[in-house]
Structure formats: structure tokens, C-alpha cells
Amino acid sequence: MDHAKQVVEQILRGEVRAAARLIRDLDDGVPAARAILKELYPHSGRAHVLGITGSPGVGKSTLTDRLIQYLRAEGKTVGVVAVDPTSPFSGGAILGDRIRMQRHALDEGVFIRSLATRGHFGGLTASARAVITVLDAMGKDYVLVETVGVGQDEVEIAGTADTTMVVTVPGLGDDIQAIKAGILEVADVLVVNKADREGASRTQQDLLQMLELQVHRKDPAWRPPVILTQAKENEGIAELMAAVKEHQLFLARDGGAARQRARYQRVRQEFLELLREGVFRHLLQQLEKDGRLAAILQDIVERRTDPYSASEALILETLGPV
Amino acid sequence: MDHAKQVVEQILRGEVRAAARLIRDLDDGVPAARAILKELYPHSGRAHVLGITGSPGVGKSTLTDRLIQYLRAEGKTVGVVAVDPTSPFSGGAILGDRIRMQRHALDEGVFIRSLATRGHFGGLTASARAVITVLDAMGKDYVLVETVGVGQDEVEIAGTADTTMVVTVPGLGDDIQAIKAGILEVADVLVVNKADREGASRTQQDLLQMLELQVHRKDPAWRPPVILTQAKENEGIAELMAAVKEHQLFLARDGGAARQRARYQRVRQEFLELLREGVFRHLLQQLEKDGRLAAILQDIVERRTDPYSASEALILETLGPV
């Protein structure tokens, strides 16, 4: 317990090595790490979490790199969580791709973690949130969460940030790769990167029009702006950060009412994700221990029952009626 | 009940309209549809399920189209499940992309369904499997399941087919887009499509070498071949189908022992997926009904507890110790 308290204090002081070790231990499912995470939780909630999502190839990593640079020049501390759902092998490739970002590795004010697998929490969302909690508790002013906007999980993770940026590029107008409806819904700020390419202002207009027609929004009182950037040339970054800060101000209005509403949604999602994985794992352990799982599977394989009836019966027996 | 029996019989006879309606109802969560699915289940398990996965742009849809054509020429009946995790909007785009496949729409021996969302089962895998069960029960000889090899779910779906094809293209050698380790593990047959491009035989050699070094395989007794195709030009399709049939023969050896092992794994995964979603939904309904969820979330928001401790306590209280 003394050791745990010590680690908690190290992380609260922002010590990088203690945080890195904790994140690794969380991923490995070390029980003591989870206890420390619980201690850290009440100290989180102060960082501004910035989600950055979009299709592969739109320049998310370069943009993230520029945002780090900008925020550091302002004297802000930054944590980065890079989420990719693919396997360890491609994780390697991604790290290669992130070499640019790694130039911040020597900067004490920046802390970058990659997240490639579902990890011990079973869900990518829960794993990502655990890392965000650690970076937040470290006292980072901003936590940037970069995700590939492909799977539902990745969109979800970026979508529950305080401010979510959705990045696209010109000329993807009607294409499937452009802006998926589900992605647009989570956007607080839209970015048209590589804006020197032909059709940038057309894409901007298209997006503004899509936003007009949009029914579902995170917060109906906020109208997402569409910002043009050229991340590689470091252009439009100040404009983008101004839009982010405008959104921060919006969230802070009326004593932070909008921020509170958004955070409640995030807590709800976080709790339910943990519950979903946890209750399943616990039940699975029970079923494996007492041999019930093997018996049920045999019944299904031999077609004495079907998986639908078998799972319904088991759930009703375990939890009782609603 | 009489109506349900009637629908079951229509589907077992292979009637397209009854099957289409059932799949739509399953997606909408109509309770009667689930009852029909249970009735159909014992009649499934006869189709050979063929998974087709790979990165976007490798030509999976064209390949699927050619395989349908080939199998139809052999007089086989074919069902197709096209899985894409993105939102309804991109679903539209995908349908556009599948116009080529739609030329089979007038062929009574082919039945194609797209699956764009998690649907009522909550999980993409469970939804896909429900559709596969329906097509299988319809009496289709082959059920082709085409998924984008990006998210873990999509790989999982393709990976639990009887025979899984992983499609790539030349020149992606060391690239992240090429062959992810997780994807390689599920492959029974590897396809290098667009084989007229430079580097095709190099890619073939690379893949064979990767397979040599591979530790985890679906079945250690099967060595996945690497087939070169040009789907657009209809080249290599016969060779590819020969490889698929070789794998079918492998599965049928020794009274179908390998097939049985694989099917047990599939049943296990199917049951656990249903259980995972079902137990969570049931519990969530209970928590919402008796107001416990709101109370817990308030406790977390006001930092009287954290989501980790709160979910653990609730799970232990609900299920008891392991």
C-alpha cells in the first residue's frame, strides 16, 4: 500500500517513468496497477481532452505533431494517446510513421503513448480511457487522443473527448473515405487538411452544408467550424487552435454547464464499457470453473439447443427477470 | 406460431423474400424474428462458409463477384454477406461500389445481403453470424462473407469461416496496409490480387516466408497456399477455387475431424458473443429500471467513487464470487 501511495504521488507530480510503468502494468493486467488507477481517478478531469480522428492518410499524425508544437510554444504541457486497433506488427509500422512526433520525446512537457490492442480491459475504449486518466492525473494541460476513424470504437474514443476534431482532405467529396455520417456527428471542429490541394474550399463548403442538414449533434448549441490547414507547412494551426479554444470557452459558459453535460456522458460511457467487459469476464470465469460452458457448447454443437436460446436461458437464470 | 412455422418452411425452401424479411426483422430486433432464427439454427451447418478479407482497395468485391460467377457456372447456389462497420451513408457508397455484384441480383441462385451496422445483436460478429445462419439454412452451397480487414471484429468474422481467404496486392510488402499479423493468422488461403502489377511474385515469396515463420495458425496441419489472381480479368479464379476445394477436402479428412474442431470454435465464439451482449443489456435494463445506474453515475461524477471500483462492486454483488 505504501508503494502504491508512492506511485500515485510520483504520477501526480508528473513523473514520466512512473506513469509509463503504470500504463504498461495496466495493459498487462497487474492488479496493483488497477488499484493505483482508482487512486488517480479523483485527480483527473482537469486536462482538456482533444480528440483527433479521420480516415487513414489525411495527415492526423502530422497535425497532432503541429498541435503539440503549438501548445508547447504556449507553455502548455501535453499528453498524447495514439490509438490503433491493429496488431503488434503494424504497431511497429505506426511507430515508424510517428518518428516525427518522437522528436518531442526529449521534451519533458510531452508524454506520448501508443495503444495498439484492446489490452487488459478487453475494450479499446476502456484501455484508452485508462491512459487518458493517467495523463490527465499527471497534470497535463491538454491530452490529445489520435484515432483512426475507421472502426466504431475509434470514433467513440475520439467522440468522447472534450473537443473532437474530425480531419479530412480536399477532393474526397462524395467518396466513402470522406466524412462518414457517424464521424460527422461527433465533430466539434472540422479540419480540411492538405488545403493547398485543388477543391479545398469546395470541400469546406460541402462540409458546412452537411452540417446545416445534420440532425444529430453532440451539443445542438455548438456549430462546428470548418478550418483549412496545411499541417506539413505548419499553416492554419493557429486558426485551428483558436477554434479549439472557442469551443473550450463554449464549454466553460454558464459555469461549465455544457462541459458538465458532456462529462456526464463520458462517465456513463466509461462506466458502462467497464461493466460490459467486467460482467462478461466474471461470468465466463464462473462458467468455465464449474464446467457449465463446456456442457452448453456441447448441447449447441449437437444441436440439442441453439446459441440464442442457450444464452437467453443462462442470462435469465443468472440475473433474474428485468 | 403458425406464421413462424410457415416462415421457417419458406426459408428452408430457399425463398428469397421470406429470408430478406427475416434478416431485416432481425436487424430491427423484432422478437418473432429471433424465434424463427432459433428454429432455423438446427438446419444450418451445411453450407461451406468462405471468408474473404483484406485491406480496402485490394479488390475484394471484384474477387467476390468472380467467385460467385465461378460457383454459379458450377451449378452451386451462393449466399453473400458483405460486412462494413461504417455508417449508413457509406453503406450507400458501398452499395454503389457493389453494382457489379448486383448483376447477380436477378439470379435466383444468388442472395446478397449487406451488413453495415452492429444491428440489434449489439455486436457485428453476432449480426453477421445470424445472417450466415439464415443463408445457410436457405440451403446455399456456399456462403461468401466479405469483410474489410481493418477492425478486430471484421477479421474475427472472416476468420471463423470454414475457409478464410486473405487478399492483398503486390508492392505492399513491408507496408502497414499489407498483411497484418492478426490477419495472417486467420488465413487458410492467401490471395495476391492485381498480380499483373510489378512485384507480384516477390509478394508471393514474402508471404510464403512469413507463413514459414508463423507461430500461430488456425490449424497447424494446414499450410496456406498463396494464389495469384487478376480478378478484373477473371484470371486465377479457377486456381483459387481449386485451393479452396483442397482446403475443403482437408477439413473433410478423417470423418471431418478438422471441420468439427473448427466448428466447435465457431460455436464457442458465437455463444460467447451473444452472452457478452445479452448479459450486459439485461443488466443495463435492470439498472436503469431500478434507478441504480443514475445513482452510481452521480457517485462517480461527484468523485465519491471511481468507475473501476463501482463496476467491480456491482459485478460482485450481482454475480457473486468466482
Q: What is the pLDDT of residues A5-58, one digit of tens each?
A: 999 999 999 999 999 999 989 888 888 999 999 999 999 989 999 999 887 778
Within-domain flag for A310: no
Closest CA to B214 of B166, B259, B257: B166
User: Per 3-state DSSP, what percentage of chain A is helix, strand, and coil (rounded to 5)?
Assistant: 60, 15, 30
* H/E element, A41: none
State whether B37 and A308 contact (CB < 8 Å).
Answer: yes
DSSP symbol at A110 = E
User: In B, which residues are within 8 Å of A118 by CB distance?
Assistant: 152
State whether B272 and A284 contact (CB < 8 Å).
Answer: yes
User: At residue A99, what is the residue type?
Assistant: I
Q: Chain A interface, mutation test: which of B275, B289, B300, most A Cβ atoms within 10 Å?
A: B275
Q: What is the pLDDT of residue A117?
A: 59
Which residues have C-beta within 8 Å of that of residue B100, sequence separation ≥ 6?
A: B61, B62, B65
Q: Confidence class of residue B173 from pLDDT cuts 50, 70 and 90?
A: low
Q: What is the pLDDT of residue A96?
A: 40
Residues A148 and A173 in one domain: yes
Per-residue pLDDT of B37-81, as tens digits, reads 999 999 998 999 999 988 777 888 899 999 999 999 999 999 999
Which of these three, A224, A254, A284, is where a domain ends?
A: A254
Closest CA to A110 of A100, A119, A118, A120: A100
Residues B187/B122, Cβ–Cβ less than 8 Å: no
Q: What is the pLDDT of residue B96?
A: 40
Within-domain flag for B244: yes
Per-residue pLDDT of A167-193, as tens digits, reads 989 876 554 444 556 677 888 999 999
State whether A285 and B322 contact (CB < 8 Å).
Answer: yes
Within-domain flag for A75: yes
Q: How far is A79 from chain B, CA to nearest CA, in Å? A: 22
pLDDT at A282 over 60: yes
Within-domain flag for A273: no
Residues B97 and B219 in one domain: yes
User: In B, which residues are within 8 Å of A174 by CB distance?
Assistant: 93
A window 181-240, beta carbon within 8 A of B: 181-183
Q: Confidence class of residue A70 from pLDDT cuts 50, 70 and 90?
A: very high
Alpha helices in B42-123 (DSSP H): 60-73, 88-97, 99-102
Of A39-48, A145-154, A312-321, which range is least confident? A145-154
- CA–chain centroid gap for A307, Å, is 33
User: In B, which residues are within 8 Å of A97 by CB distance?
Assistant: 176
- Residue B53 exposed, middle or buried by CB count within 10 Å (0-12, 13-18, 19+): buried
DSSP symbol at B175 = S
- Residue among B181, B267, B315 whose CB faces A278 most closely: B315
Percent of chain A with pLDDT over 70: 85
Residues A53 and A17 in one domain: no
Closest CA to A248 of A22, A17, A10, A47: A47
Q: What is the pLDDT of residue B91?
A: 37
Per-residue pLDDT of B77-110, as tens digits, reads 999 998 865 433 233 334 444 445 566 766 778 8
**3-state DSSP assignment of residue A89:** helix
Q: What is the pLDDT of residue B95?
A: 43
B249 close contact with A: CB closer than 8 A: no
pLDDT at A92 over 70: no
Residues A2 and A73 in one domain: no
B263 close contact with A: CB closer than 8 A: yes
Q: Confidence class of residue A84 from pLDDT cuts 50, 70 and 90?
A: low
Percent of chain A with pLDDT over 90: 54
Within-domain flag for B18: yes
**Stretch B158-181: mean pLDDT:** 72
User: At residue A25, what is the residue type?
Assistant: D
- Residue B95 exposed, middle or buried by CB count within 10 Å (0-12, 13-18, 19+): middle
Q: How far is A308 from chain B, CA to nearest CA, in Å? A: 6
**Stretch A157-167: mean pLDDT:** 87
Which residue in chain B has the smallest CA separation from A261? B301
Q: What is the pLDDT of residue A148?
A: 75
Selected residue with higher pLDDT from B321 and A214? B321
Q: What is the pLDDT of residue A173?
A: 52
State whether B280 and A276 contact (CB < 8 Å).
Answer: yes
B256 close contact with A: CB closer than 8 A: no
**For residues A59, A65, A71 and A72, what is the CA-based torsion angle, rounded to 10 degrees?**
-170
Per-residue pLDDT of B230-269, as tens digits, reads 999 999 999 999 999 999 999 999 888 888 888 888 899 8
B297 close contact with A: CB closer than 8 A: yes
d(CA A199, CA A173): 9
Q: What is the mean pLDDT of chain A?
A: 85
Residues A161 and A231 in one domain: yes
- Residue among B283, B308, B310 whose CB faces A37 most closely: B308
Give the domain CATH number at A159: 3.40.50.300
Residues A55 and A110 in one domain: yes
Domain residues for B9? 1-43
Q: How far is A264 from chain B, CA to nearest CA, in Å? A: 7
Transcribe B159-170 into DSSP letters: HTSSEEEEEE-T
Residues B36 and B125 in one domain: no
Q: What is the pLDDT of residue A40?
A: 96
d(CA B49, CA B42): 16
Which of these three, B234, B253, B272, is where a domain ends?
A: B253
Selected residue with higher pLDDT from A125 and B229? B229
Q: What is the pLDDT of residue B87?
A: 33
Which residues have C-beta within 8 Å of that of residue B150, sequence separation ≥ 6?
A: A85, A86, A150, A151, B55, B56, B85
Q: What is the pLDDT of residue A181?
A: 61
Of A121-130, B113-122, B164-173, which range is least confident? B113-122
DSSP symbol at B291 = T
Q: Confidence class of residue A297 from pLDDT cuts 50, 70 and 90?
A: very high
Residues A199 and A63 in one domain: yes
Residues A92 and A172 in one domain: yes
Selected residue with higher pLDDT from A217 and B1? A217
- Residue A219 exposed, middle or buried by CB count within 10 Å (0-12, 13-18, 19+): middle
Residues B17 and B162 in one domain: no
State whether B315 and A276 contact (CB < 8 Å).
Answer: no
Q: What is the pLDDT of residue A251?
A: 94
pLDDT at A87 over 90: no
Within-domain flag for B240: yes
- Residue B70 exposed, middle or buried by CB count within 10 Å (0-12, 13-18, 19+): middle
Residues B231/B65, Cβ–Cβ less than 8 Å: yes
Q: What is the pLDDT of residue A242?
A: 97
Whole-number Cα distances in Å, B148 to A51, A314, B154, B311: 24, 33, 6, 34
d(CA A239, CA A230): 11
d(CA B286, CA B106): 47
State whether A315 and B263 contact (CB < 8 Å).
Answer: no
Which of these three, B218, B253, B288, is where a domain ends?
A: B253
Neighbours of A46 (CB within 10 A): 10
Residues A56 and A172 in one domain: yes
Residues B65 and B137 in one domain: yes
User: In A, which residues are within 8 Å of B320 by CB distance?
Assistant: 286
d(CA A177, CA A54): 9
The total of structural domains in chain A comes to 2
Within-domain flag for B315: no
Q: Confidence class of residue A108 from pLDDT cuts 50, 70 and 90?
A: confident
Within-domain flag for B321: no
User: Would you give the end-to-end CA distance of chain A in angstroms?
Assistant: 40
Q: Chain A interface, mutation test: which of B301, B302, B309, B314, most A Cβ atoms within 10 Å?
A: B301
Enter the pTM of the model: 0.78
Strand B142-148 and strand B163-168: pairing?
unpaired
**Stretch A61-72: mean pLDDT:** 93
pLDDT at A155 over 80: no
**Stretch A71-97: mean pLDDT:** 65
Q: Confidence class of residue A217 from pLDDT cuts 50, 70 and 90?
A: confident
Closest CA to B147 of B209, B216, B54: B54
- Residue among A274, A275, A309 whose CB faces B38 most closely: A309
**Stretch B119-127: mean pLDDT:** 71
B257 close contact with A: CB closer than 8 A: no
Measured CA angle at A149 (ends A197, B166), to 5 deg: 100
**Stretch A277-297: mean pLDDT:** 96
d(CA B40, CA B57): 35
